Amino acid sequence: MGVMELKGLSLALNGKKILDHLEIDFWEGHIHALVGPNGAGKSTLAATIMGLAGYRNVEGDILFEGQSLLGLDVDQRARKGMTLGWQEPARYEGLKVRQFIRAAARDKSAPRIAEALSRVGLEPAEYLDRAVDKTLSGGERKKIELASILAMQPRVVLLDEPDSGIDVESLERIFDAVKALREMGSTVILITHSLTVLKQADHAFLMCHGKIIDKGAVERIVRYFENKCLLCDHKNVPVLDGEGESA
């Protein structure tokens, strides 16, 4: 069953079409991967789905549980149970970690807040009273943001480059948290150009030049990395390095 559907979704910025008539059905309780080279429009799509300022003048429609999201701002969409995990999480000067997680948590009790931190591999006693500021590394802030999403128990969560700034050991914790979200019934959309992240998904969409050029089982989309690209009408041929990641 589709919890969110994109119907002919298009978006132009500064006169250039960034999203081109997208038709996507995100299934409830699944982990989806949205993959493609840098510049394909993946992060723009996430911003458009969330209704961020500057990304709402679209053609087509975004349906959430059968109802259009057009005309709703980001706060209204968040109240419906949607959230976005940023590639570079924000800092909140003066705000403690416990306050940050509790703000959006469904269960605001101290044990649940501590449990969310533990799920992402952070020791509650060490982090609960720390400030969400520049004293935290990018990786720590990303894990704290994910802990807040776990506590929130959203209907749909978009995670933009969840492996960015994360070491190998911490990445396993991130993947465990993603699976925990699925177990809660959340629909997770992983925005990535990483083969490692792609393999965590149940289903994947391949995006290039603002279009969906292939979709299906993860094994099918893995060919994009093995062959460096799939045939499409765009000249963008990604250069790969490392473990199949787009340079």
Reported confidence tier of residue 41, pLDDT bands at 50, 70, 90: very high
- pTM for this predicted structure: 0.87
Give the model's pLDDT for residue 223: 82
Residue 217 or 239, more confident: 217
- Sequence ranges of the domains in the chain: 2-81+156-246, 87-153
| Whether residue 247 has pLDDT greater than 90 | no
CA-CA-CA-CA dihedral for 63, 66, 70, 74, to nearest 10: -80
Q: What is the CATH number of domain 2-81+156-246?
A: 3.40.50.300
CA distance 77 to 86: 16
The mean-pLDDT minimum among 26-35, 128-137, 183-192, 223-232 falls in 223-232
Mean pLDDT on 29-45:
92
